Chain A
Amino acid sequence: MTGANLLVATPLWAAVVNPSPSPSATPATFGANVIGFSFLLSLLVWGPAVMAVVIALVPNPRGRYERWFLGIAFWTSASVLALTLIAYQQFQVFTTGVQFEENLPWLPSIGVSYHLGVDGIGISMLLLSALVGLCAVIASWEVRERPRSYFVLLLLAEAAVNGTIAARDFFVLLLFWSAVAVPLALLVAGWGERPRAAGAAWRLLGYWGLSSAALLTAGLLLYQAAGGSDFAIDTLTHATPTGRLQVVIAALLLVAGISRLPLVPLHGWARAVWSEAPTGVALLTAGVASRLGGYLLIRVMAAGEHDASRTLAPILSGLAVLTVGYAALAALRSRDLRRLGAYLALIPGAVTALGVAGLSPLSLEGAVLSLFTGGLAAALVVGATAALAERAQTRSLATAAGLAGRAPKLAWLLVAGCLAVLCVPFLATFPAGLMIFLGSFRTQGPAALLLALGLVADAGVVAWMLHRVLFGAPNPDAPNPGDATLPQAWFLGILVGTLLWVGLVPGGPKLFGVPLFDPGLVNVVNTSTPDLSSPYAVPSPSAPGSSPSASPSPGTGPGTPTSPSAGP
């Protein structure tokens, strides 16, 4: 073992022997204390990477064990999801602070530590990553070309995404942030649809490289402003750079975020990758890797650079509005089914951006929630269009027509995806979108109104697409389409099921007021958003002698319910 590796490994080993204390206890709920060790997050980050190495090393004489690679990847993702679900269920809601923390010095001379931890935002993003990661593996069920390399890269990408989410040290975050691009670009280039796959991979590298460069510069400036001693995100976000410097830092973070989210005009990679990549890779990029852009905007920009965020908020909201309208027109122009889905998948990111730009407690909470829900919606649209194009054996809108009668399952799944990006009720994007709209009207009213109009245009495009592809007259010259295969039904079904579950019970299911197994995603994200958004609290009315009409408690429930409060 080299000295550097020993430096890394020893503190980790020490952590196993001396676990860090868990957060203060609240009454145990179902499934509590199933996870009792202190390196849960490291397991979620490095577990897929280790299994990627295992796949790389598994002997495969004469290609006899190629399906093993799929099996290993599947069980790895399933285990990650199971662990994440338990961690999610054990997550202490209605408390603040970081949980499942791991903090080990790494490069103390420059203030870098191997610091992992999650708050409400982080655990919801990890859950999203685990869900979409599993769906990506299921969507890759039919990959027969070089499966070893494929699943190695897929697991490495998943590991890098988890690392970005769990990182509490900016240096570590930057490493993982940049590392995500490499396996994804290789996957797109190696397994994407030729001849455009290579171009898509280069675009991904180019745009994500730009975002990494911007993030690096912003990080170094923040580090300098914070005293140059510590890369901890908490330290950097509490730094107080001067006005102009703050604006520059925020602008760089904005560039980094919107090129990953993406928003127009830095969306060039998205339309290429989501339409040319294999389905599993497209799911991973649309569902979770792209959400990291919004995650960065919330975690670092909004949390740290308050004044600059207020200055740049109109630009961000303007870009969000532009993206929603542009997506509609670009989708109308498209003649390729997968590309059309790629444009529609831009909409959830724009809604998230509006939430961040709203800079009110409610809109920021909605933005955090929309990272999860928007990721699912984008993944569903991209996955459904990819599956439909595959089963219809054509991507051309001129050829693929009237498919609903012959592929009803896929038709309903695509309808669900399209309705999800429009923030229709009963789906998870609705509570998030509602919070964003209601919270943004105060500070970004015109932008919110224009975004609503943009959604009307998107509804028109969705209606047009569903008419052309699903409900219109079938094309007699087109190849015979088939309905969803079992893996396709599964991965799309998981996404729809999650959207419905969170959409119907965002606060978690309750029986006679008693919470059941799900603490509720809204409750989970709520552990961190009040602190994050406290600088943006709506000021009390300052008119002398005036008293604001106040609701005495959170929520707008009725004063005298005639029956005990119960969940639906």
Chain B
Amino acid sequence: MPLILLAPLFGFVVVLTGVRGRRAASNVTILTALVMLAATLLVGWARFRQNTPYRIAYQWINEPVSFTGDQRFQGFGVDLSVRIDRYALAALAAALVIFLAALAWHRVAAPREPGQVRYHVNVLLLMLSVAGVVVSTDLAELFAFWAVSGIASYLLLGHRWGTESSARASQVALALPFLGDMALLSAVGLLYSRFGSIDLDKLPPMLLSTPGVGLKSLTAVALLLLAAVFVRACLWPLTAWQTASVEAPPSLLALVSGVWPILAGSLLLRVLPFVGAAGPQAPRAAGYAFGIAAVAGPLLGLVGTELRRSLLLASSGGVALALLTVVYPASAAAGLTGLLAVALGRAGALMSGSAAVAAMRTADLRQMGAAGRIMRGTAAGLIVGVAAFSLGPAAAAAWRPRSLASIALAAGLFLVALAGFRVAFAVVVGPLRRRRAFEPGRVREVQVSLVVAALLAGGMGLLAALLSFFTSWVVYLGARSQEVPSVGTYVLHVAIVLVGAAAAAAAFGLRKDRSLAVAGRLGSRLGTGWATAEAILARYVWRPGLGVVNGVEGIGLPAAERGAGRAASAAGRIAGRPLPWITVAAVAAVVLAVVVGVVTAGGRP
């Protein structure tokens, strides 16, 4: 079993069973991440020139379930199968950088966070399942690791036991993404029911050559898979499962929000053949959904003044743009690189932003400022992170074929940059005002380790974004011929990002107070609207549903039971009385004869 999977499994067991202290747990976890990263880089170096992926498999379940009928359904097996190609290596490396940055950040910034061993156990579980998702080629195995990643994320986002906000947020973090997980399971079920296989390597050749399987089934599969990707990538309008968790420990928020786009992109890459085989409808639907999310997410990020929520929403647009690019095989490699850049940049920006929040004792952008003067490292980390998730999709977008979607791409790029740099400028420039029980003069730069951790993630994201401009890298990653965009296309997309940044500078750098005041008012209106929508949902959906259950549980069922009880006791009383038995026997015989006559077949002439 490759070290990539064995190492986190071993670390998980060690920390769960043997470790009691904070430092020991942290050391084991960081060591595990380093070992995994070393293994990833080693495999990457070893297979640098090889185009074929590395494969290995172990049987987990292998049973004959039938001895007759269609041969495809006579056996059932789930393998622990591993496929390591360049996509997987790149995704793993990016994910592990996020893990290392988050772990280093947590070690320094949160020594007093309760539940330290629990924290590391859950991080190791997430590490194992992330690696599993990225390298799996068996759909059942992939789903298993996917679901465990979801459970680990839920446990992490709800880490702060005993706090109402954390508990409420983790509630959403479990329930909402479960919808996507069930969509994935349904897609796997539909695929198996049509093709008798759940192997991602064997299925693509069968998609269009299996008799009896039409476009409808393939489209349903494709849409379900895209739904799973959409939900877990945390795109508008399903961003709540992360934006509601802004009060989770910062390292965990950065970790979860950084890692899931990578997983979503990995899944999307793996299932591209199914999307392609479904005809034009599925990619078109994906285009619409991702395109709308790319615009709506950052737009929503402009409303309100909570720093972490704004960063999450702004970067969600970047994720949507990158995924939109991944959907098309010709631009998949560029899209993945852009996605990695967004994920890394998001994680770095969140860590830097959280450091600023902790130092300035507020998450409200209206009350923050002057980080460029008194917290330069943090400011640099924030700007680098935002630049990474703004630029990441820009290069990817250059590879997309021209279409109407280009308009959405351009709008999305602009809005992502605007919303992301809004946060950066709001924190970096302008005065830091005195508040009750807060003295601006006491604000200091955070520890160097925290700055370095955030810069590591953001810097790697920026590097990935820049790498996506190099066609040789994109071609190497894609391992097939890619249509190379012109320099002018690159320049155009970068220019859109720069225009967005300039607009943010003008609005939130030069006219910071007024712009943020408007954003704050819009945010509170949105909050009111959201509360109204929740009340309407409760009134017209939940309460009627609960009313039905109340009726059944509180009235219907007890009435039926009471009636049955009364009938039984009445029968008992009747049986105890002297009755005209001949009449009773005659009636019973007639009833029995009718029943027997109804249920048994009659004779034929």
The answer to whether the Cβ of B201 comes within 8 Å of any Cβ in the partner chain is yes
**Residues in B whose Cβ lies below 8 Å from that of A557:** 57, 59, 62, 77, 79, 81
Also in contact, A329 and B549, with CB within 8 A (given A548-B70, A558-B201): yes
Q: Which of A361, A402, A555 is within 8 Å of B77, CB to CB?
A: A555
Candidate in A360, A438, A459, A472 with the most chain B CB atoms within 10 angstroms: A438
Q: Which of B144-160 contact A (CB under 8 A)?
A: 144-145, 147-148, 151, 154, 158
Number of residues from B at the complex interface, CB < 8 A: 92
Also in contact, A419 and B63, with CB within 8 A (given A202-B565, A206-B561): no
Q: Which of A440, A551, A561 is within 8 Å of B75, CB to CB?
A: A551
Contact with B along A420-432 (1 / 0, CB 8 A): 0010111000110
**Residues in A whose Cβ lies below 8 Å from that of B211:** 541, 543, 546, 548
Also in contact, A326 and B57, with CB within 8 A (given A361-B73, A424-B147): no
B197 touching A426, Cβ below 8 Å: no
Also in contact, A558 and B68, with CB within 8 A (given A402-B161, A425-B147): no
A245 touching B164, Cβ below 8 Å: no
A360 touching B73, Cβ below 8 Å: yes
B182 touching A455, Cβ below 8 Å: yes
B549 touching A333, Cβ below 8 Å: yes
In the complex, how many angstroms separate the beta carbon of A370 from the nearest chain B beta carbon? 14
What is the CA–CA distance of A66 and B179 in the complex, to the nearest angstrom? Answer: 52
What is the CA–CA distance of A541 and B565 in the complex, to the nearest angstrom? Answer: 53
Closest-by-CB residue of B relative to A451 is B182
**Residues in A whose Cβ lies below 8 Å from that of B163:** 472-473
B193 touching A534, Cβ below 8 Å: no
Also in contact, A555 and B62, with CB within 8 A (given A425-B148, A456-B182): yes
Closest-by-CB residue of A relative to B209 is A549
Q: Which of B54, B212, B553, B599 is within 8 Å of A330, CB to CB?
A: B553
Q: Which of A402, A445, A538 is within 8 Å of B66, CB to CB?
A: A538
A362 touching B561, Cβ below 8 Å: no
B73 touching A326, Cβ below 8 Å: no
The answer to whether the Cβ of B17 comes within 8 Å of any Cβ in the partner chain is no
The answer to whether the Cβ of B199 comes within 8 Å of any Cβ in the partner chain is yes
**Residues in B whose Cβ lies below 8 Å from that of A405:** 161-162
In the complex, how many angstroms separate the beta carbon of B47 from the nearest chain A beta carbon? 13
Closest-by-CB residue of B relative to A566 is B58
**Residues in A whose Cβ lies below 8 Å from that of B549:** 326, 329-330, 333
What is the CA–CA distance of A161 and B192 in the complex, to the nearest angstrom? Answer: 36
Closest-by-CB residue of A relative to B138 is A556
B148 touching A459, Cβ below 8 Å: no
What is the CA–CA distance of A442 and B213 in the complex, to the nearest angstrom? Answer: 12
B73 touching A565, Cβ below 8 Å: no
Q: Which of A452, A506, A561 is within 8 Å of B57, CB to CB?
A: A561
Closest-by-CB residue of B relative to A455 is B182
Closest-by-CB residue of A relative to B217 is A445
A203 touching B561, Cβ below 8 Å: yes
A452 touching B185, Cβ below 8 Å: yes
Number of residues from A at the complex interface, CB < 8 A: 89
Contact segment of A138-146, A275-283, A462-470: A462-470
A555 touching B79, Cβ below 8 Å: yes
Closest-by-CB residue of B relative to A425 is B144
**Residues in A whose Cβ lies below 8 Å from that of B545:** 329
A471 touching B69, Cβ below 8 Å: no
Contact segment of A108-116, A152-160, A306-314, A523-531: A523-531
Also in contact, A361 and B66, with CB within 8 A (given A333-B553, A437-B185): yes
Q: Which of A426, A438, A561 is within 8 Å of B148, CB to CB?
A: A426
Closest-by-CB residue of B relative to A248 is B599
Candidate in A202, A360, A404, A554 with the most chain B CB atoms within 10 angstroms: A554
**Residues in A whose Cβ lies below 8 Å from that of B61:** 431, 506-507, 522, 555
The answer to whether the Cβ of B55 comes within 8 Å of any Cβ in the partner chain is yes
The answer to whether the Cβ of A18 comes within 8 Å of any Cβ in the partner chain is no
What is the CA–CA distance of A192 and B234 in the complex, to the nearest angstrom? Answer: 47
**Residues in A whose Cβ lies below 8 Å from that of B144:** 425-426, 430
Closest-by-CB residue of A relative to B63 is A526
The answer to whether the Cβ of B536 comes within 8 Å of any Cβ in the partner chain is no
Also in contact, A268 and B557, with CB within 8 A (given A333-B546, A362-B76, A557-B62): yes
Q: Given A404-B161, A455-B182, A557-B77, 15 other A-B contacts at CB below 8 A?
A: A206-B564, A333-B546, A426-B148, A431-B61, A448-B189, A466-B170, A470-B167, A471-B162, A473-B164, A507-B60, A538-B70, A549-B195, A549-B196, A556-B79, A558-B55
Q: Write 25 A-B pairs (CB below 8 A) sorted by A numbering.
A: A242-B600, A244-B599, A362-B76, A365-B76, A424-B151, A437-B185, A452-B182, A456-B182, A463-B175, A464-B171, A466-B170, A471-B161, A471-B170, A506-B61, A534-B67, A537-B67, A537-B73, A539-B69, A548-B211, A551-B72, A554-B75, A555-B75, A557-B57, A557-B59, A562-B54
